[in-house]
Amino acid sequence: MRVSVTWLRLLGVWLAIFAVFGLGVEGVSRLIFPYVAPSGWDYRSERPAAYQSSPFFSQAFIDEAFSHQNWINLPNTRIIYPGDYHGHWFNVQDGIRRTAEPPVTDRRILLVGSSTIYNAEVPDEFTIASYLQRLIRARSDVEFSVVNLGASGVKVSQQLERLQMLEMRPGDIVLFYDGTADAMQGVFYANFDGWIVGENRKRLDNIIARNRVGIEALARRSRFFNWLYARTTNYLPEHLKHPEQVRALSLDSRDKLLRGLLETDRYVSGKSGTFIHVLQPDLFSRPLREFERPLVENHFLTMNGIELALRVAHEEFEPLTRLLAGQGVKAYDASMLFNAVDAPVFLDFAHTNEVGNKVIADFLFRILVAERILTER
C-alpha cells in the first residue's frame, strides 16, 4: 500500500510539472507568436476587411458558404459541377447556381468559369451572374437569361469538356472567364494533364488532411499548436525554387491555354453560338494594397508559391488577347480591372466579394454591348 501511495504521489508530481511546463509554453507562445487563422472558414468568420460592409454577413452565412459545397465529378471525365442544394443563401439545381431575377426567354448567356464564377463567397443575389442579369434587365432592351456554370478549380479544357456535355442552342452566348486555374495547374502544380480537384485528392491520404478537423480545432485553442500547424504546413513546391522551370511552365501554360480557347471558339461557332473569352484578374495582377497583406501572409488563404506562379503566368498570358483577336476570337483582358479599386475586394488570392463581383459584371456588360449582343438604352 505504501509503494502504491508513493507511485501515485510521484505521478501527481510529474503531471503537475508537465501542466506547469505546458502552461508556460502556451503562455510564451501567446506572447511571441501571432495567431494565424487555420482555415478559410476561420478567416472569414472574423469578418475581414472585404466583408466589413457586406449586408449579408453573419456566422450562419459563413457556415452555409462552406458546408453547402458538394462538387461532383462525372465518371470517366474531368467535368466538375456543383451538386443540388437549397438553402437560405445558396441554391443549386442541376449543376447550375441560381441567378437572381432571370427573365423568361430562350436567349442565354452561358457564364462559364471556375469557383470565381460560382462565387461561394456571396449569396445568390450577389454573384457575378446575378449582377450581370440585373444590369441586362435594367439597361438593355434585349433579354437574356444568364446561366451560372461556375465550378470549383476548372481550367479551360475542363470548361470546354463541360460545355460539350450541355445541349447548346443556336444563338447561345458562351462567355469564358478564365486564366487563374490554368496558371495554377500548369505553373503552381506543374501538371498540365492534371486538374486542381485531382491535385487536392492526392493530398487526402496525408495525415494532416485525414485529421484536419481535429487539428484545426486545436490550432484555434492553442497558440503553440497554431504556430506549429502553420509552420509545418507552409512549404514552397520544389519546382518553384528554380526560375528557369517556372518560366518554362508559364510558357507551356500559355500555349495550352491558347489552344484550348481556339478549340472552344471553333466548337461554339459550330453550334451557331458566339464565344467570348475574358482573362480574369486576381490578387497579383496589380500591385498589392496594404490591407491585402494578411491574405498573402496566411498560407491557408494563399499557398506559398502562388504569388510567384501567378505573377510569372500573367506576363505570358497578357499577349493572349491580341493573339486571339488576330485569329478572329472575341477576347478581352480584365486582369487590370481592379487597378482603380482601392476598397477591399479579395478574400484570398482569387475570390472576390460582392463589390468585386459588381465591378466584373459591369465589365462583362460593356463587352456585350461592344460586341452588339446587347443594346444599351
Q: Return the pLDDT at 272.
A: 97
Q: Are 136 and 143 in contact (CB under 8 A)?
A: yes
CA pseudo-torsion sign 361, 365, 366, 368: positive
Q: Which three cell numbers stand for residue 350?
A: 482569387
Beta strand pairing call for 330-333 and 274-279: parallel
Query: pLDDT (tens digit, 0 to 9) for every residue of the chain, 377 residues total?
Result: 555 767 677 667 667 666 666 577 678 788 888 999 999 999 999 999 999 999 999 999 999 999 999 999 999 899 999 999 999 999 999 999 999 989 989 999 999 999 999 999 999 999 999 999 999 999 999 999 999 999 999 999 999 999 999 999 999 999 999 999 999 999 999 987 765 655 555 554 466 667 788 888 988 998 888 888 898 889 899 999 999 999 999 999 999 999 999 999 999 999 999 999 999 999 999 889 999 999 999 999 999 999 999 999 999 999 999 999 999 999 999 999 999 899 999 999 999 999 999 999 999 999 999 999 999 88
Q: Are 89 and 124 in contact (CB under 8 A)?
A: yes
Integer Cα distance of 60 and 58 in angstroms:
5
Q: Which three cell numbers stand for residue 33?
A: 507568436
Q: Return the pLDDT at 198.
A: 58
Burial of 71 (0-12, 13-18, 19+ CB in 10 A): middle
Q: Return the pLDDT at 204.
A: 45
Of 279, 316, 300, whose CA–CA distance to 349 is shortest? 300
In three-state secondary structure terms, 199 is helix
Of 104, 154, 101, whose CA–CA distance to 129 is shortest? 101
Q: Are 73 and 79 in contact (CB under 8 A)?
A: yes
Helix runs in 142-222, H state only: 156-165, 180-183, 196-202, 207-210, 212-221
- CATH top-level class for 57-200+235-370? alpha beta
Q: Return the pLDDT at 210.
A: 73
Task: Give the helix, strand, coil percentages of the chain, each rounded to 5.
Answer: 50, 10, 35
Phi, psi of 332 (to 5 degrees): -135, 150
Going by the DSSP 8-state scheme, the letter that residue 50 receives in this structure is: G
* Global model pTM greater than 0.85: yes
Q: Return the pLDDT at 200.
A: 58
CA pseudo-torsion sign 40, 41, 47, 51: positive
Q: Which three cell numbers stand for residue 9?
A: 504521489
Integer Cα distance of 3 and 294 in angstroms:
57
Cβ neighbour number for residue 241 with a 10 Å cutoff: 11
Q: Return the pLDDT at 199.
A: 56
Q: Which three cell numbers stand for residue 180?
A: 487563374
Integer Cα distance of 364 and 355 in angstroms:
15
Q: Are 129 and 364 in contact (CB under 8 A)?
A: no
